[in-house]
Chain A
Amino acid sequence: MATATHGHSKHPHEEHAHANGRKFTVRVLRQEMAHSGSHWETFELPHEEGMNITTVLQRIAANPVTTDHEQTTPVAYDACCLEEVCGACTMVINGRVRQGCSALVHKLLEESPTGIELRPMTKFHVVRDLVVDRSPMFQHLKRIKAWVRVDGYHDVGPGPRISPKEQEEAYPLSRCMTCGCCLEACPQFNDRSPFIGPAAISQAILFNPHPTGRVDRDDRLAVLAGQGGIVDCGNSQNCVKVCPKDIPLTDSIAKAGRDTTIYKIRKWFGR
């Protein structure tokens, strides 16, 4: 990208088909209410340098007119940090689940030159348009006791010593922003299946080895060994491919499989 003549001052797309100001289309799957039907609406917008999907949705909100010249409503969507650390603006863009903020228009148009397609995640109930209800994910975190239980919040000195290696293992897992990409991509997770999915499994694997967090280890493993737990994983490995934070979810699942097996054997022997 950087060339001797102009460094990286120009974005690659400036020399590409989708130069600034050039128009492109966005198809959005709209749904007015939680239980109403859905329909497509198409918008046309001029491209701006560095434009992402949240900007696209902001521009549509400011001028909600479709390509059929119909006045419509702004598209409802979830968004918060806009720098891919909060997980809010997750949606299905050009058929792939990801965050709207970090999905850059020029790259999307390279994938799909005819236009961009936005739809809500399919594994959660739609509230309106691109807004879905991901509260089941937070319920799962309760089930697997995704916390370090401490005696209290008074001052009793520092926590346990942690080696750099342990920190290096924990930190990537701790970056899970509960965005739901892994669940969207998982063939086993849907509203008819009790499977708790990769995100929650990986959180169990985050807290289990923690010197204090391990006090609830068996409770977590009991959940993973039970209905909707680790056996429901079909090993499609889709989760790890779509995780925006590159969390080694399949490693966590493999560990969870091993740990639950040991847990069951231990339980069998009554220990």
Chain B
Amino acid sequence: MAKQHVIMVGGGLAGLAATMKLAEAGVHVYLVSMVPVKRSHSVCAQGGINAVNELTRQQGDNEWLHFDDSVYGGDFLQHQPPVKEMCDWGPRIINLLDRLGVPFNRTPEGLRDQRRFGGTLFKRTAFAGATTGQQLLYALDEQVRYWETQGLVEKFEYWEFLGPILDGSGQCRGGVIQDMFSMKIRSLAADAVVLATGGCGLIYGRSTMSMICTGGAAARAYRAGVIYANGEFIQVHPTAIPGTDKLRLMSESARGEGGRVWVPKKPQDPRDPKDIPPAERYYFLEERYPKYGNLVPRDIATREIFDVCVNQGLSVEKGRMCVYLDVTELSASALHKLEGILEIYEKFQGVDPRTHAMKIFPAVHYSMGGLWVDYERDEQTGGLVMGSPRNQHSNVPGIYVLGEADYQYHGANRLGANSLLSCIFAGLIVAPSIENWLKSLKKGSAEDQPVSLFDGAVQGHQKRMDELIANQGNENPYKLHEELGDWMTRCVTVVRNNKDLTACLDKVDELEARYKNVALSDKSNWTNQNFSFTRALGDMICLARVITKGALLRNECRGAHYKPEFQIKSPDADDPAKLRQQAETWCRAFKEQTDKWLKTTIARHAPEGPQITYEDVDTSLIPPRPRTYGLKGAEIIEKTWKEMTKTTPARKAQTAGVGA
């Protein structure tokens, strides 16, 4: 049997973690990336990485609470075993990163410092200044560079993944890739292809994501048969700096260190924010959510900022929607920890945020949904069976998916600082799973497959490229992209309704039809970015349909998917008996909604459009409960829900041996 190889597509945190772990095990990896891996989008992660630590432990924290925060924050839409396993691994992952030299901030005693992030009451987040993602990525990049010198990693940087190669039985035998400089297309034989290709924010035009986050690779896998799950769950980050080319993230850590969100009580108060006295400021998050304050989960902070600007007309500016994010009252040492992000604001806005409140607005930030992956549950621990070839394995044999590209860990809403953890976790645990997958392959390795299989795949992609370059028409790909982004941002972000979603789906149809008439302004065969972009635009349109259709069909509110038409009315009666009655009605409606909609959206590609079905979610460890952050009548709902679920034989709360 010839040598076995793994293709790793994407060199962000997930791809690099998996690569170094595979290399350590002696598995040869082809690392394919559209950019030098050190420039991957993970560099943009700012705030930190979550894990229970000795300090929080002594305040009553433990892995189970991190797990509970994650599934509660995610509105229970994630399968629980992988999330539980991830939270259990948290402390070990931080320790590993620490050993690899990540310059985490330190306490005077030399221990790792921690900050608080949204959706939790504990200071659970380790950080390196305000460029944590960059620092973690560099540490893993350095390890992979070491393995490169040992001959175990072969990099294909500035190469684009065009699609997997499946044999007659539907098993993945490699991938087709293209050199973005010479435009040469070639195949790589491999026994496993891992997609660690990040999110798809560019579908929304401008987002906090990098230029490479088109979802292109995910769409190509989807068209080849990989299921796309929970596409409609797109996180809109509450605080970003609006820009002409990008909406730049202003990390949650600004609030974690004490930054406050407010608007002047007087609409569009023209005074300098410094001159507006506290009594004339509306700290709406603190007032509406006394428990979590400025650190409510992201979907909630986003909706409140939206509400204050759109419905209450309290935007700081008249022509442009924004609210103040104020760090001007923070201590010098707190500001120092935020240096990296304050610099970004200063550079791009020309205003010093240390002395002037920042102006921010929500922006598309993260794809909770993504390619579907499997896992094997450990019945003893409630976590995962380590090394099972099923972990992170898509429905197509031989294709694995990691990081933001998968749908596994964040449910309907991701908690801040959980993404770095999920990326590295999935990267580390997939390595033994792939090793076992490789060992299980009996029918010879990919290299033993007929040459025609690989050549045929290359020719197919070459033909599509030639056709697109030769295409005649009057449509401009950049203008089409702008239209797509405008529609998606307007209809499929913070507030959704079926009328807009239907219109958006029609728009996507129209854009797809017009895409057929797209004409390239560059027909050359060398570093043709015009071509690469236009091809990715086709992929974006494909995923836009998956996202929009999923959103249209899901008639409920869950996490980031907020459809007011289907919101359960909060109890508001003054009379206690009436209030109780309303709470019971609320809880029954919630139960009904859970029974119907606590399901993974499964999209399968078909020529006529995505075929959508639903799959049950494993919520066996923590029974779903109403997510009541700051909800009107939260207390009575929680009380009523507890009483109601006590009388009905609820699912087992915690399996034996699980929990802390």
Task: Say whether A and B bind each other.
Answer: yes
Query: Nearest chain-A residue to B34 (Cβ)?
Result: A80
Q: Known A175-B131, A212-B99; judge A141-B145 contact (CB<8 A).
A: yes
The verdict on B592 contacting chain A, using a C-beta distance below 8 Å, is no
* Interface: B620 (CB within 8 A): no
A109 to B80, CA, bound (A): 55
B566 interface contact, C-beta 8 A: no
The one of A62, A74, A80 in contact with B210, judged by C-beta atoms closer than 8 angstroms, is A80
Which residues of the other chain, B, contact A9 by a CB distance below 8 angstroms?
316-317, 359
Q: Are B103 and A167 in contact (CB under 8 A)?
A: yes
Nearest CB of A to B186, in Å: 18
Q: Using Cβ atoms and an 8 Å threshold, which residues of chain A touch B146?
A: 145, 147, 149
Which of A53-61, A225-233, A259-267 lies at the interface?
A53-61
Decide: A80 and B530 in contact? CB cutoff 8 A.
no
Of B90-98, B225-233, B305-313, B553-561, the one contacting chain A is B90-98
What's the Cα separation between A8 and B351 when bound, in Å? 7
* B212 in complex: contacting residue of A54, A73, A80, A156, CB < 8 Å: A80
Contact of B331 with A by CB under 8 A: no
A96→B244 CA distance, assembly (Å) = 23
> How many angstroms between the C-alpha atoms of A177 and B145 in the bound complex?
15
Q: Which of A88, A153, A210 has the most CB of B within 10 A?
A: A153
Contacts between the two chains (Cβ within 8 Å), count: 221
Contact A2 B272 (CB under 8 A): yes
A148, A156, A161, A175: which contacts B142 (Cβ < 8 A)? A148
Please tell me if B522 contacts chain A, counting CB pairs below 8 Å: yes
- Nearest chain A CB to B344's CB is how many angstroms away? 5
Q: Does A170 contact B (CB under 8 A)?
A: yes
Task: Chain B residues near A128: list those with CB within 8 A.
Answer: 181, 526-527
**Chain A, 95-124, CB within 8 A of any chain B CB:** 101-102, 104, 107
Verify B143–A158 contact, CB threshold 8 A.
no
Most chain-A Cβ atoms within 10 A of its Cβ — which of B103, B104, B139? B103
Q: Which residues of A contact B270 (CB under 8 A)?
A: 5-7
Is the CB–CB distance between B24 and A158 below 8 Å?
no
Q: Compute how far the CA of A73 lies from the CA of B359 in the bound complex, rounded to whole angstroms.
A: 37
- Interface check A12, CB cutoff 8 A: yes
Q: In the assembled complex, which residues on chain A have CB atoms less than 8 Å from the CB atom of B108?
A: 163-164
Whether A26 is near chain B, meaning CB under 8 Å from some CB there, is no
B39 touches A88 (CB 8 A): yes
B524 within 8 A of partner (CB): yes
Nearest A residue to B111, CB-CB: A161
Bin the interface of chain B by size.
35 or more
* B245-253, B372-380, B577-585 - the one binding chain A: B245-253
- Of residues 25 through 53 on chain A, the ones whose CB sits less than 8 Å from some CB of chain B are 32-33, 48-52
- Give the CA-CA distance A212 to B272 in the complex, in Å: 50
- The residue from B143, B148, B356, B524 contacting A8, defined by CB atoms under 8 A apart: B356
Question: Interface readout for B145-179 with A: 1 if CB under 8 Å, 0 if not?
Answer: 11011000000010000000000000000000000
Query: Which chain B residue has the least Cβ–Cβ distance from A49?
Result: B244
A84 to B527, CA, bound (A): 23
| Contact of A174 with B103 at beta-carbon distance under 8 Å, contacts A7-B270, A81-B210, A88-B35 already known | yes
Question: B607 within 8 Å of A by Cβ?
Answer: no
Q: B245 contacts which of A1, A52, A159, A212 (Cβ < 8 Å)?
A: A52
Bound together, the chains give a CA A148 to CA B135 distance in angstroms of 13
Known A85-B134, A142-B148, A177-B38; judge A4-B272 contact (CB<8 A).
yes
* B513-530 with Cβ < 8 A to chain A: 521-522, 524, 526-527, 529-530
Contact A80 B111 (CB under 8 A): no
As a 0/1 sequence over residues 245 to 259 of chain A, the CB contacts with chain B under 8 angstroms (1 = contact) are 000000000000000
Would you give the shortest CB distance from A76 to chain B, in whole angstroms? Answer: 5
Known contacts A64-B521, A80-B35, A82-B246; is-contact A74 B529 (Cβ 8 Å): yes
Task: Kindly list chain A residues whose C-beta atoms are within 8 Å of the C-beta of B145.
Answer: 138, 141-142, 146-147
In angstroms, Cα B270 to Cα A141, docked, is: 52
B135 in contact with A174 (CB, 8 Å): yes
* Complex Cα spacing A153 to B98, Å: 11
- Contact mask A175-217 → B, CB, 8 Å, 1/0? 1011000000000000000000000000000010010110000
Q: Which B residues touch A142, using CB under 8 A?
A: 145, 148-149
Tell me, in angstroms, the Cα distance from A77 to B148 when the chains sit together. Answer: 27
**Chain B residue nearest in CB terms to A147:** B142
CA A141 to CA B142, docked complex, whole Å: 9
* Interface: B538 (CB within 8 A): no
A104 touches B348 (CB 8 A): yes
The residue that A86 contacts in the complex, of B39, B181, B317, with Cβ under 8 A, is B39
> CB distance B39 to A50 under 8 Å?
no
B614 within 8 A of A: no
Instruction: Write the B52-66 contact mask toward A (1 if CB under 8 angstroms, else 0).
Output: 000000000000000
In the bound complex, CA of A255 to CA of B205 (Å): 46
State whether the Cβ of A11 lies closer than 8 Å to any Cβ in chain B.
yes
The answer on a CB contact under 8 Å between A61 and B43 is: no
Does A155 count as interface, using CB distance less than 8 angstroms? yes
A127 CB-CB contact with B under 8 Å: yes
Query: B317 to chain A: which residues have CB within 8 Å?
Result: 9
Q: Is the CB of A85 within 8 A of B44?
A: yes
B99 touches A158 (CB 8 A): yes
A213 to B272, CA, bound (A): 49
Q: How far is the CA of A187 from the CA of B340 in the complex (A)?
A: 29
Judged by a CB distance under 8 angstroms, whether B479 is at the interface is yes
| Residues of chain A within 8 A of B254, CB atoms compared | none
What CA separation (Å) do A124 and B493 show in the bound complex? 42
Q: How far is the CA of A51 from the CA of B39 in the complex (A)?
A: 23
A51 to B38, CA, bound (A): 26
Residue among A104, A131, A163, A171 having the largest count of chain B Cβ atoms under 10 Å:
A171
A-chain residues with CB within 8 Å of residue B44 when the two chains form the complex: 81, 83, 85-86
Q: B residues 268-314 with Cβ under 8 Å of A? A: 270-273, 275
The answer to whether B211 touches A73 (Cβ under 8 A) is no
Q: Max chain A CB contacts within 10 Å: which of B139, B157, B272?
A: B272
Chain B minimum-CB-distance residue to A143: B149
Q: Which residues of B contact A101 (CB under 8 A)?
A: 245-246
Cβ A159 vs Cβ B350 within 8 A: no
Contact A62 B526 (CB under 8 A): no
CB-based nearest B residue for A169: B103
Q: Mark B30-45, 1 if CB is under 8 A from A, else 0.
A: 0000011011110110
Q: Which residues of B contact A174 (CB under 8 A)?
A: 103, 128, 135, 138
Q: How far is the CA of A79 from the CA of B44 in the complex (A)?
A: 13
B95 touches A164 (CB 8 A): no
Q: B105 at the A/B interface (Cβ < 8 Å)? A: yes
Instruction: Map CB proximity to A onto B231-268 as digits: 1 under 8 Å, 0 otherwise.
Output: 00000000000111110110000000000000000000
CA of A82 to CA of B349, assembled, Å: 14
Report the minimum CB–CB distance from A244 to chain B (whole Å).
Answer: 9
Instruction: Assess whether A150 is in contact with B100, with CB atoms less than 8 Å apart.
Output: yes
B215 at the interface (CB under 8 A from A): no
Q: Is the CB of B273 within 8 A of A7?
A: yes
* A152 and B100 alpha carbons, distance in the complex (Å): 10
- Given the known inter-chain contacts A12-B350, A50-B243, A147-B145, please indicate yes or no for A170 contacting B103, CB distance below 8 A: yes
Q: Are A167 and B95 interface neighbours, CB within 8 A?
A: no
A-B contact pairs, 26 of them (CB 8 A): A1-B351, A2-B356, A9-B317, A33-B526, A50-B348, A51-B244, A52-B243, A61-B530, A71-B521, A74-B522, A78-B35, A82-B210, A85-B131, A85-B340, A87-B39, A104-B350, A128-B181, A142-B145, A153-B21, A155-B92, A155-B96, A161-B111, A163-B108, A167-B103, A174-B128, A175-B340
Closest 10 CB pairs of A and B: A161-B110, A159-B98, A147-B142, A62-B478, A148-B101, A128-B527, A73-B522, A159-B99, A86-B39, A82-B246
Q: Beyond A131-B527, A162-B103, list 12 extra A-B contacts (CB 8 Å).
A: A33-B526, A61-B533, A74-B521, A77-B529, A78-B35, A80-B211, A128-B526, A135-B157, A157-B95, A164-B105, A171-B135, A175-B131
Residues of A within 8 A of B (CB): 1-9, 11-12, 32-33, 48-52, 54-55, 58, 61-64, 71-74, 76-88, 101-102, 104, 107, 127-129, 131, 134-135, 138, 141-142, 145-150, 152-153, 155-159, 161-164, 166-167, 170-171, 174-175, 177-178, 207, 210, 212-213
